[in-house]
Structure 1
């Protein structure tokens, strides 16, 4: 694979960064794009081959995507890691960030175990274009069904709601500003209310999740081992069905994904610097830069998007692209 072109590297890298965070499956797109383009793309970019250099390339893209998530949520991770350190040092779990740290750890254990046991099997047996297209259709069904069921699920205590500024300030040491009184239709001002959408307030809401509920949401990531099933999509659906708002479900999904994506990349770093990565280091760097930039822009967009919108457009996209790809691959 020494002839992997820079165009292939940049295009696949950009798609990886976006589709890893958009609920449309990065692995599914990594399989489908080369197959749909055909030619040397299909030969160069074969994820199902047991010793494919493409896997070494994808390692770099995963690390870059995780780095973008760490950069975007760096304040959150500073608080979470500091909470974890306090918890270990004092052997207790008292404040929200100590609890959130342990929730993330516990919730990522199921996918960590499943990934080590099943990743190679799923990738080599199912990491082909036709199964990937079928699973992308299934991804659309999951997202759409989750939205439909969400409408019937009452909001749980950890759902989106205001958090008292005093509680946030007591935990973080930072005052939370309140919204300025907004004029009503009659010109009279409403009373000020706390801003509930700050990172501190959102993390405190997530820290209130029961352990079992958080673990269930994290375990949903196991489905993303199937090419075409989105990690962020299934964890968001699991969060929505457990009473989280779209905004909090997306945030928890990104926080859960960061250590998983980073660990998956770091675990296979030796492949990148071994025989599989020989001759493609420059292309890996180009693709990783594209992946980092697109992932950062994607998470920045999605954290705002899910404040007011739903998974339905991504469900429609998955259904249409999956069905179109399946028909094309079957008839060609």
Structure 2
């Protein structure tokens, strides 16, 4: 039965990690709705490695180009003015807020932030923020236009995703849209910016699998991670095609509906907060 649950949760993770609808919220709400209980922050963090592996493979050419140029810039001055070298620094700097806050607030995140009242509210509020950002964006900047200021602001926005229900991609995309980036550019940068934070969090939580708050153990956790990789890879390809021609409105409506339903179910006692 645990393997079946793991497959279901892996599918949920793969589908929701890259869409701006919060994978952590779904991994908290749906197991509770199915009567499976909270799978735990450790399980959630570790199976996200599967979806980030999908990012690493999907964007392998971009990552290699940025990473190799950044490394060369450390020893060869002529590379330091190259955009890919700057992008390497932007990703590192943009990752610092979520890494630092994640370490400092680890206990609060795992104990208090997983409350369904909080998750329902953040789904709605950040959904509305995404909708406003998408509507008011100047929509005239591409990834090549990113600056240090942009990387800091989007990194700060990404840090909000430590609260389940916010959505890492949703928060970063929202800030990117407020800063005038095109939908595809904001989405692409959100994926790249997430790599250090998510892989780091997953590796950090590996030690919790055998004896922490994870209720499944190694076998189901690995199964869910593999499933999330396969589904996540397909989700990346679909989302980048989708946002090149369409708005985020369906995701906004879905977030608000799910958040409202969650609050109602908790208020009526159907779900335990």
Alignment equivalent of 1:33, drawn from 30, 45, 49? 30
Cα pair 2:123 2:255 within 8 Å, conserved: yes
Normalising by the residue count of structure 2, what TM-score does the alignment of the two structures yield?
0.92
Cα pair 1:123 1:226 within 8 Å, conserved: no
Q: CA deviation at 1:56?
A: 3.7
More helix by share: 2
Cα pair 1:17 1:65 within 8 Å, conserved: yes
Hey, what does 2:58 align to over in structure 1? 72
The 1-side partners of 2:96 and 2:222 are apart by: 30
Hey, what does 1:219 align to over in structure 2? 156
Q: Runs ≥4 in structure 1, deviation > 3 angstroms?
A: 276-279
The 2-side partners of 1:207 and 1:146 are apart by: 20
Q: CA deviation at 1:154?
A: 6.4
Cα pair 1:69 1:258 within 8 Å, conserved: yes
Hey, what does 2:236 align to over in structure 1? 299
Cα pair 1:66 1:259 within 8 Å, conserved: no
The 1-side partners of 2:215 and 2:268 are apart by: 37
Hey, what does 1:170 align to over in structure 2? none
- Deviations 1:50-72 (Å, cap 9, x if unpaired)? xxxxx443343121111111010
How many residue pairs match? The answer is 267
The 1-side partners of 2:180 and 2:71 are apart by: 29
2:232 equivalent to 1:323: no
2:22 equivalent to 1:86: no
Hey, what does 1:239 align to over in structure 2? 176
Hey, what does 2:8 align to over in structure 1? 11
Hey, what does 2:204 align to over in structure 1? 267
Cα pair 1:119 1:225 within 8 Å, conserved: no
Gaps of 5+ in 1: 48-54, 161-205
Alignment equivalent of 1:58, drawn from 18, 38, 44? 44
Q: Say which SS state the counterpart of residue 234 (structure 1) adopts.
A: helix
Hey, what does 1:175 align to over in structure 2? none
Alignment equivalent of 1:109, drawn from 96, 110, 116? 96
Q: Say which SS state the counterpart of residue 87 (structure 2) adopts.
A: helix
The 2-side partners of 1:281 and 1:117 are apart by: 26
Hey, what does 1:308 align to over in structure 2? 245
The structure with the larger Rg is 1
2:73 equivalent to 1:136: no
Aligned CA-pair RMSD: 1.8
